[in-house]
Amino acid sequence: MLELIPITDSIGTEVRGIDVTADISDSDFERIYQAWLDSTILLLRGQNMTPAQHVEFTRRFGEIYTYTRSNFSHKELPEILILSNQKEKGKPVGSAYSGRVWHSDGHFLTEPPVGSMLYAREVPPVGGDTWYGNMYAAYDALPEGVKERIADLKVIISRVQSRPYNYPDRPAPTPEERAEWVDVSHPVVHVHEETGRKALMVGGNVPWRIEGMSEEEGLPLITFLQEFAVQPQFTYCHKWQPGDIVLWDNRCAMHRATYYDHFTHSRVMHRTTIAGRRSAAAAV
């Protein structure tokens, strides 16, 4: 029987009593979907999905966003991105250095994806955790004066600027990448398309600029917001077990991965990314 159990007071729901490879009734799925919208992340433990079942389960939540130019896509199913330190014939099978600063996926896109589903296949005994933060809760807790100050502000997200923070192991962007990766701006206060709730979406750790503000004026504000957003009362650290699935709502949650001993231990995670809301056909 389906059970929905809060993970902490502020973030997450653990979904129990469901095998994601079996038929999930429309009414159960609707409750799961609503819990996702309400609590920003879902956790399902002890699952055993093939890559094809992973893709199929993700489709229940919406259309899949495929990273068509990634070197780290699953060979048969490009909808799956592999995050791993493993090598095959000396070549990395996945992205080894995944998201270690607070971020929401694809923030550098004009239309960032709505969510991501991460499935643990192999995990190290220590580290390699993923932190999640509820950005509705962070926004709600801001002092009223700050809410007024940031109400109409936009943060400028530069993929070029973020590269050394997100991927210190990769070379600096090439001239071609610099030309292609144009900056985008997003509201600092994101109004969620489905719930209508406000979320603080400043992205973490990179000293982003605020549209229309000098660096001198913008930096203290962005730093305050970034630090405010990830206080312990809004966050949860997930310690992975093989078979865990976490689905996060990229419109109101941030996340970051932690270090582990990648010389000694293996971490293999499969991630799908949800591009948009459920299509009419998939909607329940």
Binding residues vs ligand SIN (CB under 6 A): 83, 98-99, 105, 116, 118, 130, 255, 257, 269, 271
* Nearest-angstrom CA–CA distance, 17 and 35: 15
DSSP 160-181: HHHHHHH-TTSPPPPHHHHHH-
| Closest separation in Å from C-beta 5 to ligand SIN | 22
Closer residue to ligand SIN (CB): 198 or 251: 251
Q: Of the two residues 221 and 257, which places its CB atom closer to ligand SIN in the complex?
A: 257
Q: How far is CA 219 from the centre of its chain?
A: 24
User: How buried is 120 (Cβ within 10 angstroms: 0-12 exposed, 13-18 middle, 19+ buried)?
Assistant: buried
In the complex, least distance from residue 240 CB atom to ligand SIN, rounded to whole angstroms: 8
The residue assigned the tokens 């799925």 is: 29
Identity of the residue, 83 or 201, whose beta carbon is nearer to ligand SIN in the bound complex: 83
For residue 34 the two structure tokens come to 């609503």
Shortest distance, position 70 Cβ to ligand SIN, whole Å: 12
Q: Which is nearer to ligand SIN, 106 or 218 (CB)?
A: 106
d(CA 92, CA 82): 10
Could you tell me the smallest distance in angstroms from the CB atom of residue 86 to ligand SIN?
A: 13
Q: How many residues does the chain have?
A: 284
Shortest distance (Å) from residue 268 CB to ligand SIN:
10
For ligand SIN, give the closer residue by CB, 74 or 255. Answer: 255
Say whether 218 sits in a helix, a strand or coil: helix
Residue 2 or 66: the one with the smaller Cβ distance to ligand SIN is 66
The identity of residue 121, as a single letter, is: R
Using CB atoms, what's the residue nearest to ligand SIN?
Answer: 99
Minimum gap (Å) between residue 20 Cβ and ligand SIN? 19
Q: How far apart are CA 244 and CA 251, in angstroms?
A: 22
Residues 84, 66: Cα–Cα separation, whole Å: 18
Long-range CB pairs of 14-21 (<8 Å, 24+ gap) are: 14/42, 14/43, 14/44, 14/45, 15/42, 15/43, 15/44, 16/45, 18/44, 19/47, 20/44, 20/47, 20/49, 20/53, 20/57, 20/245, 21/47, 21/48, 21/49, 21/50, 21/53, 21/57
Cβ-based nearer residue to ligand SIN, 4 or 246: 246
- Closest CB 266 distance from ligand SIN, rounded Å: 13
